[in-house]
Chains A and B, each alone.
Chain A
Amino acid sequence: MTHAPTHHPPRSSKMSPPPPSERPGYFGRFGGQFVPEALFGAIEELADAWADASADEAFTDELDRLRRHYGGRPTALYLAERLSEEAGIATWLKREDLAHTGSHKLNNVVGQALLAKRMGKPRIIAETGAGQHGVATATAAALFGQECTVYMGAEDCRRQRLNVVRMQLLGAEVVPVESGTRTLKDAINEAFRDWVSNVDTTHYLIGSAMGPHPFPTMVRTLQSVISLESRAQFAEQVEETTGVAGALPDAVIACVGGGSNAIGSFADYIDHPEVALIGIEAAGHGVGSGHSAATITEGREAVLHGARQIALVDDDGQVQPAHSVSAGLDYPGVGPEHAHLADTGRGTYLSATDDDALLGFRRTSELEGIIPALEPAHAVGWLLRHGHEVLDDDARVVLTMSGRGDKDVDEVVRVAGWDVGVDLDEADKVVD
């Protein structure tokens, strides 16, 4: 075949969008909307609906009412004296583990499910790693009478069987995802595929401050209740004991997977540079071991799940499997605002290994009578082992206890090899 000259239509109306930093949905150079064209109708509709709802007092009043009367907010801020003594650093725990469904996830979910109802979408879908977001979504779907499908990696279904049962009890369909690495990132892929296919009737209720705009901003706003409360509570408690008004903590510490509890914990402090923002990523077997989920520590700038962010991507462009003992942190990316906070130096991102997390899990239980989820156990483990590398002796810190640990008990016993006097295999046989 010869290549004859052909007619080239003029590239007439080529759009020249402004640079990323000036566009909505961008945090510096991170963020954006990297999704198939078929989803643009839905994300534009969502952005409009969210802007409209945020400005509507009836919507925000209803959300506030649900948070208080249904969700159990505000959650306590508690000076954990024995843990503080062990850490050598005064530590307040922001008790998201006390919120309904046992984690911070409901903050986001109730807002988005209420928005889906307002948009007339009868069906919600979600991804879940540890199952906490799936349980929260199934809870909201039950509350609002919505149809609900939750995608969960097959490997995570095994690790978090209790949460699978909870979601089923709440009326949700749980779909085990067998593709890819069979964990959270693959569950997200499957949820995107569902959304592309059913966009007319379905809202994709993303569980973290990630994904295409407007999700990172919307989830941050909904989760910012954590820091709005903790800031007021901290000031009040300090004033009660010292008489000094308006005190701020020296640091706010939260675990980071996709980053929703962390961004909510940081949000109201970002404009107060005297407050250090410390995100603790899960380093699995250790940074550099090849079995880690410490995305900011080890990753590179890349597009994943709809946004330019930092992700564990190899030189060829393939997303690498993350590893963490905690299914909720086992994600090879991080939300775009965290990428920006890390990039600008406003946030400090460090990591804790599986072993650090197991220490945090055990010591929080033993010293405070609080069984933490494995996710915030990373933050506690880091504080106990490495806190002094960053914080002064007289530092006062707020650490977000993002969830409770009932779901993790079997996995912790299995991984740590603790002899609890009851053989798990035998117990399973009896149940079967």
Chain B
Amino acid sequence: MADEPIRIVTEDLRDAIADGEVAPSAVDETDDIPPERVVDPADVAAERPDGAGRVAHAFAAARAQDRAALVIYLPAGFPDHDTSRACLAAAAEAGADVLEVGFPFSDPVMDGPIIQAANQQVLERGVTVADHLAMCTVLTDEVDVPALVMTYVTIADAHGYGRFADELAAAGIAGTILPDLPVDESGPWDDVAAGAGLASVLMASSVSSDRRLDAIAGSSTGFIYATGLLGVTGVKSVARRASEDLVDRLRTRTDTPIAVGVGVKDAQDARAVAGFADGVIVGSEVVAVVADGAPAGAPDRVAALVAELRRGVEQG
């Protein structure tokens, strides 16, 4: 979207001018904008950048501080609407550079027991995507870091790609991660997301072929989510060697930032991963501290863990 100059005059109006149906002067009078004026994308990005730009900026800002970016995942609505927002805000305040807001799905094949249980609790209370969007609208207003939505493609599909993308953008969301929408199938969503100004973050794996990594590196926007192990979230620990090899293979293909997630459990893991990746993603462990105690204290528990993880990425 930001690759092309943004034209203030719409194509329809331009055609009308070309056809002589509308005099250029009339456009000047009504819109007070010269018809030939073209806006530099950089200027637009500075005022209202698209999601990929905001995410890339967050990674660039971390890199400018000589550290990896910290990405924190929490499910929307867990353990309740207000607490989930407060926990995400606390994560941002304590040092998260990017937020990942999970929209619970009934059949989350990529998630391990901790996130599954949290999702299940939300779904059993009858909370809907509309509730999550309302939470995100408030959240993205009160934090100054970009927030992505992580969910499954069935959710986007049921709402309709166009409507879902527009709703996310309207809620201030910067992009999506859909773990069951691999690169061969992601084209239609990637196009719709880009049109709505959303980044579409694709996942890469140590078992991805060279052909697939080429495609992922060419299509993923915002950052690339490199899975740190073969497995689901929150069970095994990150496989350092395999992750590092994967990051190296991606680096030769793109300068899109690369973040490693799945299996990063503590500040020590975060430090290790920060040594070779542009970003470190932590989810299950954060969800576990939310679940571990009364909701009222959850934001403080999240803040304490995120601050610790942030020290980890700063030492990496």
Contacts and interface: CB of A to CB of B under 8 A. Distances in A.
A109 to B, nearest CB: 22
B230 A180 contact: no
B227 A38 contact: yes
Nearest to A12: B218
A430 interface: no
A419 interface: no
Contacts of A14: 187, 190, 215, 218-219
A1 interface: yes
B8 interface: no
Contact of B182 (A2, A4, A37, A300): A37
Interface in B156-209: 156-159, 179-185, 187, 190, 202-205, 207-209
A303 B157 contact: yes
Contacts of B190: 14
A208 to B, nearest CB: 16
Contact of B105 (A10, A179, A318): A318
Q: Give the size category of B's interface with A.
A: 35 or more
B3 A8 contact: yes
Interface stretch (B24-32, B55-63, B69-77): B55-63
Interface stretch (A160-168, A193-201, A275-283, A287-295): A193-201
Contact of A317 (B43, B158, B179): B158
A13 interface: yes
Contacts of B215: 13-15
B126 to A, nearest CB: 10
A37 B278 CA distance: 20
A314 interface: yes
Contact of B57 (A4, A41, A303): A4
A317 B144 CA distance: 30
Interface string B225-252: 0010011100110000000000000000
A195 to B, nearest CB: 9
Contact of A15 (B53, B180, B218): B218
A36 interface: yes
Interface in A31-79: 32-38, 40-42, 44
A185 interface: yes
B236 A197 contact: yes
Nearest to B212: A40
A196 B233 CA distance: 11
B107 A304 contact: yes
A32 B182 CA distance: 10
A316 interface: yes
B256 A9 contact: yes
B120 interface: yes
Contact of A1 (B3, B61, B157, B184): B61
Interface in A297-330: 300-306, 311, 313-319
Nearest to A320: B106
Contacts of A11: 3, 218-219, 221
Given A36-B182, A196-B231, A316-B159, 13 more contacts: A4-B57, A8-B52, A9-B255, A10-B3, A12-B218, A14-B215, A36-B180, A37-B202, A186-B107, A192-B109, A303-B180, A305-B107, A316-B128
